[in-house]
A and B are shown apart, each in its own frame.
Chain A
Amino acid sequence: MDYLISDLHLEENRPDITGAFFSFLDQIESQASRLYILGDFFESWIGDDENTPLQQEVKARLTQLSERGIQLYFMHGNRDFLVSEGFEQETGAKILPDPSVVELAGQKVLLMHGDSLCTKDTSYMKFRAMIRNPAFLKTFLARPIEDRITTARQLREMSQANNSEKSMEIMDVTPEEVSKEMLAHDVKVMIHGHTHRPMIHKLVLNNEPAQRIVLGDWDQKIWFITASENSGIQLHEQPFPAPTTS
Chain B
Amino acid sequence: MILLKTNYGEITLELDYEKAPETAKNFEQYVREGFYDGVVFHRVIDNFMIQGGGFDVDMQQKPTRETIKNEANNGLTNDTGTVAMARTMDPHSASAQFFINVSDNNFLNHTSETTEGWGYAVFGKVVAGSDVVNKIKGAKTTTKAGHQDVPVDEVIIESASVVEADSE
Of B7-15, B24-32, B105-113, B157-165, the one touching chain A = B105-113
A-facing residues in B48-87 (Cβ within 8 Å): 48-49, 51, 54, 61, 84-87
Are B93's CB and A19's CB within 8 A? no
- Is A23 positioned at the interface, with any CB of B under 8 Å from its CB? yes
B93's nearest neighbour on chain A, judged by CB, is: A245
Are A243's CB and B88's CB within 8 A? no
Interface string of A6-23 (1 = CB under 8 A from B): 000000010111111011
Using A243-B99, A244-B89, A246-B61 as known contacts, say yes or no to A20 and B107 having CB atoms under 8 A apart.
yes
Interface string of A225-246 (1 = CB under 8 A from B): 0000000000000000111111
Are A19's CB and B89's CB within 8 A? no
In Å, the complex CA distance between A2 and B67 comes to 42
Question: Which interface class (under 10, 10 to 19, 20 to 34, 35 or more) fits B?
Answer: 20 to 34
B97's nearest neighbour on chain A, judged by CB, is: A245
Are B49's CB and A243's CB within 8 A? yes
Q: Could you tell me which B residues sit within 8 Å of A by CB distance?
A: 43, 45-49, 51, 54, 61, 84-89, 93-95, 97, 99, 105-109, 111, 116, 120
Q: Could you tell me which A residues sit within 8 Å of B by CB distance?
A: 13, 15-20, 22-23, 26, 241-246
Supply 12 further A-B pairs (C-beta < 8 A) apart from A15-B107, A26-B48, A245-B88: A16-B116, A17-B107, A18-B107, A22-B47, A23-B47, A26-B45, A242-B120, A243-B43, A243-B84, A243-B108, A244-B89, A245-B87
Chosen A-B contacts, 21 in total, with CB atoms closer than 8 Å, are A13-B111, A15-B106, A15-B107, A16-B108, A17-B107, A18-B107, A19-B105, A19-B106, A20-B107, A23-B45, A23-B47, A23-B48, A26-B47, A26-B48, A242-B108, A242-B120, A243-B97, A243-B108, A243-B120, A244-B87, A244-B88
